[in-house]
Amino acid sequence: MRPEFRLESYDSEVVRHLNTAVQREYHRRYGGGDETVLAAADFVPPNGAFFVAYLDGEPVASGAWRSHGESDAEMKRLYVVDTARGLGLARSMVALLEENAAAAGRARMILETGTEQPEALALYASLGYAPVEPFGFYANEEGARHLGKALSGHNPHLTHKTGTTAA
C-alpha cells in the first residue's frame, strides 16, 4: 500500500486531529505540549504548506513548513501515528517538505526538536541535518536541538512571495 500525500489546510479537521495527537506525544515525552505559536496563514502556499499522508484513506502522518526569514523554511509538526511507524512515512514526508519548500524558493530547511525524541534526531542526522544557530520559541531550552540543511533544487531566481520566476 502506497501512501497518498495531500496538501491540507492547517485549520481542517484532519489536521486538528493529528495536531492533538502530536501534542499528546509531546506531553508524554516532555511533560507539556509545544507552545510555539502557529497560525493557519503560516501554512498557505507559497509561504508554507501542511501535508497529511493517508494509507487506505486514513490519515497517518503529518508534516509542514513555514517561511522563516528571507530564505529559510521551518519544518513543523512532523508526526506519524503509532500504527504507521516503521513504514518510512517520516522520511518520505521530509523529502516532500524539502522539495516543496525548495520549489517555493527557500534555500534551507531548519527545525527544532529535542533530546526526548531520539528517533527524530536519528532520522534528521541520516538525512543530512546538522546543528544551526538556535532560533524560535525554544532557542534557550537546554534540551532543544536546532538543525538545518541546505535544500537541493533551490532556485535563487524564484521569488518567495509570488512563486514566479524573476526576469
* DSSP-derived secondary structure for 29-60: HHSS-------GGGGSTTSEEEEEEEETTEEE
- What's 89's domain CATH number? 3.40.630.30
Q: Is residue 162 part of a domain?
A: no
Q: Is residue 15 part of a domain?
A: yes
Q: Is residue 125 part of a domain?
A: yes
Q: Is residue 159 part of a domain?
A: no
Q: Is residue 8 part of a domain?
A: yes
Helix, strand, coil abundance in the chain, percent, nearest 5: 30, 30, 40
Question: What total number of domains does the chain contain?
Answer: 1
Q: Is residue 63 part of a domain?
A: yes
Taking 80 as the threshold, does the pLDDT of residue 140 lie above it?
Answer: yes
69-121 tens-digit pLDDT: 999 999 999 999 999 999 999 999 999 999 999 999 999 999 999 999 999 99
Q: Which domain holds residue 65?
A: 4-150
Q: Is residue 136 part of a domain?
A: yes
CA 78 to chain centroid, in Å, comes to 5
Q: Is residue 16 part of a domain?
A: yes
Instruction: Band the pLDDT of 155: cuts 50, 70, 90.
Output: low
Q: How far is CA 151 from CA 53, 69, 87, in A?
A: 22, 15, 24
Angle of CA points 106, 98, 139, to nearest 5°? 75
Q: What is the pLDDT of residue 164?
A: 32
Instruction: Band the pLDDT of 153: cuts 50, 70, 90.
Output: confident
Instruction: Band the pLDDT of 156: cuts 50, 70, 90.
Output: low
Instruction: Band the pLDDT of 1: cuts 50, 70, 90.
Output: confident
